[in-house]
Chains A and B, each alone.
Chain A
Amino acid sequence: MATFSEYIAQNEERDGVRFSWNVWPSSRLEATRMVVPVASLLTPLKERTDLPPIQYEPVLCSRATCRAVLNPLCQVDYRAKLWACNFCYQRNQFPPSYAGISEVNQPAELLPHFSTIEYVVQRGPQMPLVFLYLVDTCMEDEDLQALKESLQMSLSLLPPTALVGLITFGRMVQVHELGCEGISKSYVFRGTKDLNAKQLQEMLGLTKSSGAQGRGPQTPQQPLSNRFLQPVQKIDMNLTDLLSELQRDPWPVTQGKRPLRSLGVAMSIAVGLLECTFSNTGARIMTFIGGPATQGPGMVVGDELKTPIRSWHDIEKDNAKFMKKATKHFEALANRASTNGHIIDIYACALDQTGLLEMKCCPNYTGGYMVMADSFNTSLFKQTFQRVFTKDVQGSFKMAFAATLEVKTSREIKVCGAIGPCVSLSTKGPCVSENEIGTGGTCQWKICGLDPSTTLALYFEVVNQHNAPIPQGGRGAIQFVTQYQHSSGQRRIRVTTTARNWADAQTQIQTIAASFDQEAAAILMARLAVYRAETEEGPDVLRWLDRQLIRLFMFHLRRSPFLQVFNNSPDESSYYRHHFNRQDLTQALIMIQPVLYAYSFNGPPEPVLLDSSSILPDRILLMDTFFQIVIYHGETVAQWRKAGYQDMPEYENFKHLLQAPVDDAQELLHTRFPMPRYIDTEHGGSQARFLLSKVNPSQTHNNMYAWGQESGAPILTDDVSLQVFMDHLKKLAVSSAA
């Protein structure tokens, strides 16, 4: 551990944790002065192929308010078979099963390199995975066909025991009964009337079966399936047929109207169905929509085409009459779903907005996916969807369900809150700070859907008073306990215990400064900014951000779609923010500051500045913004390509040059979720805007003659360039000091 950066990398590798500060200022006052709070990015299920799950359960601190898990940082008295909790200092007896413990015979959880360890809970039934497809039928036949194929394909990817269900909706909502012979049955609901779980239960005739469960001896078996949710192996064929017979919503759509789409009720029914049958069992509601909800609760726009869907402009003018109600509806659903541990995914494929702004809380609260594409008949959707079902080496899905994350801290530090795809469980405890950042006021969060890249930002507060110094060499510890349902149906608990040194800011400011993790801090601040942007008015957030520590990075953040809504629809903003809030650090960085590579005959591919000066005629540029991958052919290259040189054997090198960025892009495409939009464009092409909007406008129509002699492409924008921004910033910094 030579340098902090190595240390950081190692910690991240082992625990999936990155702190903004890796040495903590030892008092509240000093911490506050640091501006960037002590905070961490946590990837709870970071893939650890070297981490064998332990087949027993964790040993817990006996103090009721602590319940911390035995970990390598605990002091252990092997003689007395006692261990001291490093959070509350409670001395605990080892359980009888640890009778053979000794210095040489330590359980795994005491080994220092198992600071992250995973237990398998043996108790309780194996819970099935539940996948409930919620399919919009108001779409073009072509789209629907593609969607049907994707869904049918997905059936083959599901484990045979997984339960599946199908709800389709258009003007009405249909809950399909599975496994019926002959006539296919479905329960139909009006798309304009919301139903609570109890009503739904009665209407679906599920009440009696639950009564039967009560008296039957097979109680545990009963809930495993019902008429609407059945094991894939049993109804595979049936469901395939059912899907293939799906018709486009038959209700006539007159010209000038949108089809009536009862998304709100459909989702409500899906949530309700799972709520009354598989509460607290991992389940995914996979919602596929081809347009906005246009009727019933949750509608985001009327069916008149002449009324466009709300824009940011409308929202600012308070002119989006459905937004608040719809948001409330979906929020309520999101809360119900998360309470029951169910995930809501949204796959929205439409050219227009679909109401993601209103629905965002559904995936955001439940850890579901949000995917936005133009059509179900695009590889973007198809491959993204397929990637949902990727499996790890053991053949398990790379997804986890119904997780709870608990944070335990040393006395000197408390947790303020979390930002990420989680909801509060409102668990008060000694380590909960009164100061809330993000979702706070609790030390436990529910994360209904997790995958290995899901990353939460956790914010802490140093509460140690200035006049009560921490002894030299003291360390602050934080334990993250994540209980979740593995895709195999097991319940598992992953425990990560980490500690950092305290340092007196007065004397060890250098150390502290050196321990600053710039990238992590940037992301943490960005999340905070985005969180605020979501909850507060846009300009205020920018001003707030400006007041904070600013570096180059922040220039891009300011311009990013996460904070800047100009040129983005509300849906797009929601979409970007959603992913920003759940992706890990690397991806998040890319989102804020896209990566730009240049390919030319002048040398090997090289990363270049995200600046208009990088746009040269003889270059091919590859930009990765996370959401888009843009290949940009410079003017000359484009002409060459048009002339067909690449097809001439004597210009094979040109062919290779053209191929290189494509290959690199494919690599990115294959690994990323959701799959980015792949754009192949050239100088002057309409799609070139994706690139031009990202680069630093060092050359614009305003100053091109001042800078003119240099190569590069002018950007037609009124945005300030980095140069101007920095100049301004310097001025500001001076004046603000005063």
Chain B
Amino acid sequence: MNVNQHTPMASPYGQPQPGYGQPNYAPLDGGYPASYAPYNGPASAYQPGVPPQGSARGPPTSAPPPVSAPQQYNQYSHSPADMQNGPPPMTQAPPRPAGSQPYGLGGGQPSYPQHYAPPPTMQQVTNQMGGMQLTSGPPTPAGLGYAPPHSSQPPISTSYQSAPQPSFTQAPPPASSAPTQPPPPNAPAASQQYYRGPPPPPQPPFNSALPPTSQQQFLSSAPPPPSQQTFPPSFSSSIPPPSCAPAPPVSQSQQPFSTPQPHFSSAPPPVSQPGFPSGPPPPAQGSFPPQPTPSSSQPGSVPPPGPPPTSVTSGQYPTPIQHQQQPPDSQPSPYHSGPPPPRFQMPPTVNHLPPGPQSPPGPQGPLQQPPSPQTGYPPQQNGAFGQTRSPQAGYPGPYPVQPNYGAPAPAPAPAAPAQKRLDPDAIPSPIQVIEDDKAKTNEPFVTGVRGQAPPLVTTSFHVRDQGNASPRFVRCTAYNMPCTADMAKQSQVPLAAVIKPLATLPPDENPPYMVDHGEGGPIRCNRCKAYMCPYMQFIEGGRRFQCSFCNCVTDVPPHYFQHLDHTGKRVDCYDRPELSLGSYEFLATVDYCKNNKLPQPPAFIFLIDVSYNAVKSGMVSIVCHELKSLLDHLPRENPEVDSVVRVGFVTYNKVLHFYNVKASLAQPQMLVVSDVSDMFVPLLDGFLVNVNESRQVIESLLDQIPEMFADTRETETVFGPVIQAGLEALKAADCAGKLFVFHTSLPIAEAPGKLKNREDKKLIGTDKEKSLFQPQVGFYNNLAKECVAQGCCVDLFLFPNQYVDVATLGVVPVSTGGSVYKYTYFQAQTDQERFLNDLRRDLQKHVGFDAVMRVRTSTGIRATDFFGSFYMSNTTDVELAGLDCDKAITVEFKHDDKLSEETGALMQCAVLYTSCSGQRRLRIHNMAVNCCSQLADLYRNCETDTIINYFSKYAFRGVLSNPTKAVRDTLVNQCAQILACYRKNCASPSSAGQLILPECMKLLPVYLNCVLKSDVLLPGADVSLDDRAYLKQLISCMDVADTHVFFYPRLLPVMKLESGSLPVAVRNSEERLSKGGVYLMETGLHLFLWVGASVQQELLLNLFGTPSFSQIDSSMINLPVLDNPFSQRLREIIDSFRAQRSRYMKLVVVKQEDRTELIFRHFLVEDKSASGGASYVDFLCHMHKEIRQLLS
């Protein structure tokens, strides 16, 4: 039914689609036409050019993609429109598109409904749904977005192809709708007008506001990067091509959308359609000069490759749409199920495809090939989105929609042919993006180029420092910062950098060089105190230098003077790291030391809970035993020399026991301090000792501790005084250091910092929930402050059997740059390995103490907010009692003035710290990024992983002060705004129903959904408050790679393993798991080995040494060591995973259908979660809806 309705609609849609995109754009279209024509030309040209671009990530991502996308859109819309016009005839097709459009539906539904409503006659809801879908159809843009994902090239091609194809395919259906055609004319005219002359005016003409927006987008987009370039100018210029190339993808997607757009078009679209109709793809293109760029991109567009997937999705989508439209179809359910739906969808896609191909050929000879795939893309994406959305529309309800999907199935009918190709991968696939990036990255990343986004964190690459800090140290959300605050505000893209100052570099990269400027200390700007760096301009023959941060001119000290060469560079530029590198270290002078005194070597103090629980769980004896050998591995800078770090030992329950382990003693001495209310350190000499000197005494002590407390009955513990004790000890020794606290239970003994059990599940979901994340008492905040002042970093190892209030206990570790480790229900047997590995790593890792970090920026922006494990006593200095190689700090920047495109934006992160050998140093990381006056540039040079890192930290901190629901809403809103802004300003015109995602952000929705679904923001019933607090703290200091795998776990099929390379990951969805497969999942905290129920015996034998599935012991914590290549390789992989992460991951073997599978499923983040989190598809629909609301 729906379909029918749709059909009618569809026809309009089909036409409209173009119209949609176009309708709004219509005017644009008008403009486009011109471009189109050129495009064709360019397109062809592009195609060739494109590929290369595709290869280079930079280009694609760079302005091109987004812009191009818009452009493409425009183009597409135009061309598609034309194409579509063709398609429109195909009434059926349109519906599908609509279905595919589901994207649009999600967003569009609302608006659509109305449009649709009338035609559909179907239930309003359904209508809406349908509308949604239809709109979703437009979402195809999303698909477009996707398209880009596939590969920059593909996208382009896809765009083209899709554009054409979709248009074609759909076109046919729409074609039926005469109206569409008519509109085209108008649209074209309008669009043309737009483009050429007064864009705005055209808009007015256009009916819907959307159009205008789209127009604006167009305009803006066009003007900005690719679009502009792509557009006429671009065409002309060779540059455009590349940019276009990337752009194309988008455009493609858009195009596909455009096809779906028809729905939209119904209302406004028509215009665009008109264009399309005017000249099926080809003609349109030809007609539209502007399009050229797109076309170019399209041409270049590897479209073919990319498209296919899209097409598939589109196929699916269509179906969904159809579902909505055609609720009748029972198939919906299948839809839900990954496989079945696809098929159904397939049909639609197929339809598209078939048509696409057909149509494409028709319209665009060259493009045709790509088109088919493209078409597929757009539709699919659209469809997928749309469908999901429609379901999502009701976010919660999204699922219900699925049935609709089933319904769509019918639609599939048309798609039927394509079914085979159908695949859930229609929506942007993280895996695809990751793999593409890997494939693309085969040269070292050179940091010298300003504004260039580095490869993804999932890609392994070599870095060559040529003036900017390595991405291993600094990653930014945007490598092209908006020039003005208004732009930044408009885009809502967070401007942030994730800085990991002491990051460990791979062995083949040099650690930062040490620079010693002598007694005067590092040379700095007189005014802003920025440190000497490659951005400093030497003037007056080298006698002075001008600070690039504040423009102040400072004299060069005589001992630092050097002549300049003819380019104004110092002659010794390349001899000095501080003049040529992005990261380096200064040797600090005594002026940089506390109390103007060179620091003492740091100390490590081990504070071990010896209450009943601790002893009984075996923790005490494990720790003591391990420490004996571990003490030989204290951090040191020169492996040849013994560490200068001194150690001390304390045990405690309700009282504290200090130990005198002075070398001269025959036996250690225990000093009991029972006055916990007023903690102090009972001894000085002999508490902190050099390991080698006191080895015997220490070993004796560690041997005796477990014995001494073996019979303890003391169950109460204190906590505050324990940290105080360590702090006082460091104070007494006048050094910085680290406390290792091994703690088991809620500190209920009478003492400062005493806590009570406040875990109250009833508060979850209420406004009071935030209080559970806040520390219970203020005591620890003050304590943390004191710790920071002394440079006392606290690492907390928790072994709780019940609630311990991590939120409160973690205050000090988090504020002092420490870490919290939690081993719930610790059992020596199963958890020992994990704990010991964590301990070893934590103890040995590179760490700095008593650090202060300051981020200086060039005029125009400044660091306004910081996230991580630290303490701030003022607004600029990040104080870190301890800073280790795994800790990252996220810094948010805000404008306080305009930036200039010429100079870009500079930031310098200086970390003053005491090394583990007691040397005071400054580590400097410099980062320069471009500034842009076009939003498209911004969108083209973003890094989604970093944005997610920022968002997660921002949100997780937000739960302290806001209800979690509000936090989630804020996230969704911001994300929607980002995408809407893109859509509005950068994307080529397309129907509002299209979901258009920037190339660089196409994974934003899926990742964001993962953040939203995380235990912190959306806890399941079995997630304890402690767990949430724990995760919250964990995230706060994660770097981008950590957050990435944390939010989107790595899932590897390991049925077939090759040495030297890892199997390609699969997406985190149950659909991807095969019963006969074995999968390894890594989340950064957990490691699962999922074993399907019908795995081949041989595999089981190789893996577990047992042929029977039922005999696999799911409690095993390590794979059996078997002498076969498969087992060896898998264990190798596991080991390498563990080595990559800062925390040891315990292996959990999950048998299909086993109890533990529930836990495992929790990490299948693309699926709907047990706690109510939306599935990827649903969320995407929801997001689209949000965007649409914003745009309308």
Contact = CB atoms under 8 A, between A and B. Distances in A.
Interface string A631-666: 000000000000000000000000000000000000
Contacts of A186: 669-672
A245 B665 contact: yes
Contacts of A251: 684
Nearest to A199: B675
Interface in B652-674: 655, 657-659, 665-674
A177 B674 CA distance: 13
Contacts of B659: 183
Interface string B683-711: 11110000000000000110010001000
A100 interface: no
A252 interface: yes
A172 B660 CA distance: 14
Given A174-B682, A190-B680, A250-B683, A183 B675 contact: no
B670 A183 contact: yes
A637 B499 CA distance: 91
B675 A250 contact: no
A406 B867 CA distance: 78
A67 interface: no
Contacts of A730: none
A183 B700 CA distance: 9
B675 A190 contact: yes
A202 interface: yes
A189 B665 CA distance: 22
Contact of A203 (B674, B700, B701): B674
B540 interface: no
Interface string A192-213: 0101000000111100000000
A185 B671 CA distance: 6
A125 interface: no
> What class of interface size applies to chain A in its complex with B?
20 to 34
B684 A252 contact: yes
A183 B678 contact: no
Nearest to A242: B669
Nearest to A180: B670
A319 interface: no
A188 B685 contact: no
B671 A174 contact: yes
A220 interface: no
B688 to A, nearest CB: 11
Given A182-B667, A182-B704, A183-B670, A172 B682 contact: yes
B525 to A, nearest CB: 40
Given A174-B682, A183-B708, A250-B686, A188 B668 contact: no
A247 interface: yes
Contact of A187 (B667, B673, B685, B704): B673
Interface in A402-445: none
A122 interface: no
Interface in A235-292: 245, 247, 250-252
B684 A188 contact: no
Contacts of B680: 172, 190
B675 A189 contact: yes
Nearest to A187: B672
A189 B658 CA distance: 12
B678 to A, nearest CB: 6
Given A188-B672, A189-B675, A183 B682 contact: no
Contacts of B684: 250-252
A161 B322 CA distance: 100
Nearest to B683: A250
Nearest to B707: A182
B674 A183 contact: no
A184 interface: yes
Contacts of B701: 183
B393 to A, nearest CB: 65
A247 B685 contact: yes
A165 to B, nearest CB: 15
A172 B683 contact: yes
Contacts of B672: 177, 185-188
B366 to A, nearest CB: 86
A187 B669 CA distance: 11
Residue picked from B682, B684, B686, most chain A C-beta under 10 Å: B682
Contacts of B682: 172, 174, 188
A198 to B, nearest CB: 13
Contacts of B655: 203, 205
Contacts of A185: 657, 669-672
Contact of B674 (A172, A187, A250): A187
A184 B686 contact: no
Contact of A204 (B666, B674, B685): B674
A28 to B, nearest CB: 57
Interface in A139-184: 172, 174, 177, 182-184
A189 B682 CA distance: 7
Contacts of B683: 172, 188, 250
A596 to B, nearest CB: 52
A187 to B, nearest CB: 4
Nearest to B705: A183
Contacts of B667: 182-184
B671 A188 contact: yes
Contacts of B670: 183-186
A195 B677 CA distance: 12
A276 B672 CA distance: 19
A203 B708 contact: no
Interface string A381-415: 00000000000000000000000000000000000
A300 B683 CA distance: 24
Given A190-B678, A190-B680, A183 B669 contact: yes
B704 A183 contact: yes
Contacts of B657: 185
Nearest to A171: B684
B643 to A, nearest CB: 23
A251 B733 CA distance: 10
A101 to B, nearest CB: 60
A193 B682 CA distance: 13
Contacts of A174: 671, 682
Contacts of A189: 673-675
Given A247-B685, A250-B684, A252-B684, A203 B668 contact: no
A155 B115 CA distance: 105
Interface string B623-653: 0000000000000000000000000000000
Contacts of A193: 675, 678
B669 A184 contact: yes
A172 B658 CA distance: 13
A185 B341 CA distance: 73
A202 B671 CA distance: 16
A183 B668 contact: yes
A409 B678 CA distance: 54
A247 B683 CA distance: 11
Contacts of A188: 658, 671-673, 682-683
B686 A202 contact: no
A683 B310 CA distance: 120
A117 B1075 CA distance: 104
Contacts of A187: 671-674
Contacts of A172: 680, 682-683
A204 B675 CA distance: 9
A247 B664 CA distance: 11
Residue picked from B659, B673, B683, B685, most chain A C-beta under 10 Å: B683
A156 to B, nearest CB: 23
8 contacts: A172-B680, A177-B672, A182-B700, A185-B672, A186-B672, A188-B671, A245-B665, A251-B684
Given A174-B671, A174-B682, A183-B670, 8 more contacts: A182-B704, A182-B708, A183-B667, A183-B701, A185-B657, A188-B683, A190-B678, A205-B655
Interface of B: 655, 657-659, 665-675, 678, 680, 682-686, 700-701, 704, 708
Q: Which 7 A-B pairs have the closest CB atoms?
A: A250-B685, A188-B682, A203-B674, A185-B670, A187-B672, A188-B671, A190-B680
